[in-house]
Structure 1
Amino acid sequence: MNTNKKLAYLEEKQQEYSFSGAFYGQKGNDILMGSYGYANRSDKLANQVDTRFSIASGCKIFTAVAICKLVEERKLSFDSKLKDCTNIRFPHFSEDITVQHLLTHTSGVPDYFDEETMEDYEELWVSRPVYGVREPKDFLPLFQDDTMQAEPGGSFQYNNSGYILLGLIVEHMAGCSFTDYVEEHVFRKAGMLDSGYFEVDSLPERVALGYVEQKDGKWKTNIFSLPAKGGPDGGAYTTVEDMAKFWKALTGNRLLSKNMTEMLVKPRVEVDAEEQIFYGYCGYMEVDDHHDAVQYIQMGYDPGVNFRAVHLPQDGTTIVVCSNETEGAYEMMKEIKKVLAV
């Protein structure tokens, strides 16, 4: 199947899924890019391949890279205790929580958004003003005084609060804001010039608004459904091509040393034995029978935000799908995998 036929097939699937967003797929010299739907429904502004999308938790990997950079600089270690890495006090937290526990979702700290008990992230902001949530410290009232939900070092339990804590560690150890640190040490080094932690009330050009479908079939934007500015646990904006640049920079050891990159991408905690899914500092990954990673997986879900990306280390294949609606990215990623014969 030639490139035109592949794109025609994806166009057909986009209509089937009513997908709104952009995609990038690369395997060897075969590169596919495309965009559909509207970045702004009111003004009928179409999404483009260089449109910037929020990627929700898909940017936790940037937080992990920032931590690894500080470890390289010997400002902390993976065994450093949370209590020694920030001057913020957590009265009911275990003193045994380490940086590694936070990175691998095994810290046991209370999660401010527990996905097992709360279905919709939007519920968090019904009685809390989202416009006041712009820095990692602004999340503290949501969990700082709560009790532990498990002992450190236990089984994997996905935890957004843990990444807020990692962001606070970055700020304490680096002496600057978390977002400034990531933008300098990750985005600029990787050549991700369109990426950033933008504030929803002062967005730059080429940013897609996120849309949530209501029960009556009408659409609303997600500006009151998410914090005003993203941070360590999610909410950065990027383009599909910038995410491909990120993986090239990471695997080319331009963000971290070769040794530290290997530590970042190593499988560490079992998530799903049947599906052979593990979690490492870099996020989810599928492993083979020898526990070698065969596919790195990024995902992000928020009201009006849907992001999926995979990177295959064996041949460098990278697929990135960003949507400015709540669903659709995973379905399009499967179709891109099919036409690239992944």
Structure 2
Amino acid sequence: MKVKNVELETKLAEKVSELDFSGVIHVENRTGMIHTSAHGFSNRAESIPNTTNTRFGIASGCKLFTAIAICQLVERGSISFHSKLSNLLDHSFPHFDEEVTVRHLLTHSSGIPDYFDEDVMDDFEELWVKNPMYHMRKLEDFLPLFQDQQMKFNPGEKFHYNNAGYILLGLIIEKVAGVPFTDFVEEDIFKPAQMKDSGYFALDCLPAKTALGYIDKEDGSWKTNNYSIPIKGGADGGAYVTAGDMAKLWQSLMNGKLVSKEMLATMTTPWIQTDNGYYGYGLWIEKSEGTIVKYHVMGYDPGVSFASGYYPESEMIVVIPSNKERGPHKLMYLIEKNI
């Protein structure tokens, strides 16, 4: 029987209270579960509490799914990491450099324009004034937001986080696999990983046990994020998962169930330096004294925040989804310090 880490439990409880955290905290390692707890409400108006089985939107946390899908297609011989965007898609990109490759898109180093550039825009909601979010159901729906714009820099020149690049990767998956992007992920990633409660659900058709996202205002009032994010998620973000399912994703990926061990090594290579670490394919990488200590993903949307990591030395997995805009990262750092 596992001995409870009383000090960790106490500190987590204090931090949850301090942050007024809403979501789930899930921590496990090779010996089993270390901690699991649910906090806050999945539906505030009805006072329905979050549970450890609640589904949460994870925003950009699911760029990892897109990267895994691309790697699966590379293993099948359908495309390569050096395949050029200009040869893969028939859509018009009049100003894009013809040398942009799949690898550039995966590592946020393509230089293509983004539909939401976090260095330029503060408020994701601004996008949906001219382009109503309820029209954003398919990957093609995002193309008019960036396809006619100019390149930002030369391919491979540097890292610059880019959502549009992952929209294009999703379109490549659809073209090559011949099925809608979300169908591919649900069939070729969620099913083999046994992520039975996860999916790309539309905001106007959410299943039971799914948390609504909440935007808290300075005056203490709040609203849901129903009109603040695209109505259905896709290749750059917006899937819904349970904390347990995300842990299964990490297990399946690291155990070679989704891609081969050789491909996993490619995915988890620090391909490019970022402001505070490195980036592989669809995941962030942290090193300490030259050794990789953490692979992780994160997500932010109006009414959504998410942090999840895999720690190779201990095989610890941390999953912290939230239906509020902040909290997971502070809890993740606390866990890292106390385990």
Please list the CA deviations of residues 196-249 of structure 1 after superposition, one character each: whole Å capped at 9, or x if unmatched.
000000001110000001232101000000000000000000011111100100
The equivalences for 1:82-231 within 5 A come to: 82-231=85-234
Range with greater deviation from structure 2 (180-189 or 19-28): 19-28
Counterpart of 2:311, as a letter, is L
Alignment equivalent of 1:10, drawn from 9, 12, 15: 12
Deviation at 1:26, TM superposition (A): 1.2
Contact conserved, 2:56 with 2:240, CA < 8 A, in 1?
Answer: yes
Contact conserved, 1:210 with 1:303, CA < 8 A, in 2?
Answer: yes
User: For the residues of structure 1 that align with 2:10 and 2:204, how far apart are their CA atoms?
Assistant: 37
User: For the residues of structure 2 that align with 1:131 and 1:337, how far apart are their CA atoms?
Assistant: 39
| Secondary structure in 2 matching 1:189 | coil
User: For the residues of structure 2 that align with 1:302 and 1:133, how far apart are their CA atoms?
Assistant: 15
The equivalences for 1:1-342 within 5 A come to: 2-3=4-5, 6-29=8-31, 30-272=33-275, 275=276, 277-290=277-290, 292-339=291-338, 341=339
| Secondary structure in 2 matching 1:126 | helix
User: TM-score of the superposition, structure 1-length normalised?
Assistant: 0.95
Range with greater deviation from structure 2 (127-136 or 62-71): 127-136
Counterpart of 1:337, as a letter, is E
Aligned residues: 336
Contact conserved, 1:306 with 1:329, CA < 8 A, in 2?
Answer: yes
Range with greater deviation from structure 2 (2-11 or 280-289): 2-11
User: For the residues of structure 2 that align with 1:114 and 1:155, how far apart are their CA atoms?
Assistant: 15
Deviation at 1:6, TM superposition (A): 3.6
Contact conserved, 1:267 with 1:293, CA < 8 A, in 2?
Answer: no
Deviation at 1:7, TM superposition (A): 3.0
Deviation at 1:84, TM superposition (A): 1.1
Deviation at 1:313, TM superposition (A): 1.0
Counterpart of 1:286, as a letter, is E
Taking only the aligned residue pairs, the percentage that are identical comes to 49
User: TM-score of the superposition, structure 2-length normalised?
Assistant: 0.96
Counterpart of 1:294, as a letter, is V
Deviation at 1:336, TM superposition (A): 2.5
Counterpart of 2:16, as a letter, is Q
| Secondary structure in 2 matching 1:285 | strand
Deviation at 1:4, TM superposition (A): 5.4
Counterpart of 2:250, as a letter, is W
User: For the residues of structure 2 that align with 1:144 and 1:282, how far apart are their CA atoms?
Assistant: 22
User: For the residues of structure 2 that align with 1:328 and 1:211, how far apart are their CA atoms?
Assistant: 13
Contact conserved, 2:66 with 2:282, CA < 8 A, in 1?
Answer: no
Deviation at 1:28, TM superposition (A): 3.6
1:295/1:172 CA distance change after superposition, 3 Å: same
| Secondary structure in 1 matching 2:253 | helix
Deviation at 1:279, TM superposition (A): 0.6
Deviation at 1:191, TM superposition (A): 0.7
Contact conserved, 1:34 with 1:49, CA < 8 A, in 2?
Answer: yes
Deviation at 1:283, TM superposition (A): 1.5
Please list the CA deviations of residues 62-105 of structure 1 after superposition, one character each: whole Å capped at 9, or x if unmatched.
00000000000100000000011112121111110000000001
User: For the residues of structure 2 that align with 1:241 and 1:213, how far apart are their CA atoms?
Assistant: 27
Contact conserved, 1:198 with 1:230, CA < 8 A, in 2?
Answer: yes
User: For the residues of structure 2 that align with 1:270 and 1:338, how far apart are their CA atoms?
Assistant: 25
Deviation at 1:27, TM superposition (A): 3.0
Deviation at 1:3, TM superposition (A): 4.2
| Secondary structure in 2 matching 1:69 | helix
